Homo-oligomer: A and B are copies of this chain.
Amino acid sequence: MRILIVEDDKKIASFLEKGLQEAGFSVDVSYNGVDGLSLALTEPYAAAVIDIMLPGLDGLSLIEKLRLRNIDIPVLILSARQSVDDRIEGLQRGGDDYMVKPFSFNELLARIQALLRRGQKHADASVLNVGELQLNPLSRQVTRQGEKLELPAKEYALLELLMRNSGRVISKTSILERIYEYNFDPQTNVVDVLVCRLRNSVDKEYESKLIHTVRGMGYVLRAE
């Protein structure tokens, strides 16, 4: 279960990171609001711990931007500002809990777990991840390294097929059957062409190549 920390104080950030990792979470840290936002928009976090006073984009604006884009993960606000009005503002602008520094790590952990417990009801849709590639079947959105990719229908269908079977070799005839309606094997190279186009969309601009051909067999999607 992944948690995002957005905190510019590096000591606090690493303290939180270690503690949450020990508690069994997978943790990402960002030291400013802008990076935090792009992470939160692209990675599937279960929750976030966000400081208010951040360089660039402040924490509350960050949360508002998340909510605007329907990122509904629970957010625990962490702040040095302890006045009641600050706390109220934090909660009203989209935070789910508010803790004042200095804080007890164990209480923070308990509060995060309380938030997660509540959220677990609505288990979110399974997002497919392969390496730096991410595909959300519901929104039909594909990103690589956080950048959005625009894929035409057939390319998208093929990519989804490959991602659902990542690591396994998919034969051309299998692709033909599943993406096209062909149940016979006509003399066509549509699949070759499709794979080529998908490569241009997905692999071309990037260093590591994810789509591999297995000569005589078919294709695999594999992160290496």
Contact = CB atoms under 8 A, between A and B. Distances in A.
Contacts of A166: 70
A23 to B, nearest CB: 13
Given A110-B88, A118-B119, A168 B139 contact: yes
Kindly state the interface size class of chain A when it binds its partner: 35 or more
Contact of A113 (B92, B113, B152): B92
B217 A140 contact: yes
Given A91-B113, A220-B139, A118 B169 contact: no
A8 interface: no
A156 B214 CA distance: 11
A107 B87 CA distance: 7
Interface of A: 68-70, 72, 74, 84, 87-88, 91-92, 95-97, 104, 106-107, 110-111, 113-115, 118-119, 121-122, 130-131, 138-140, 152-154, 156, 166-169, 214-217, 220, 222-224
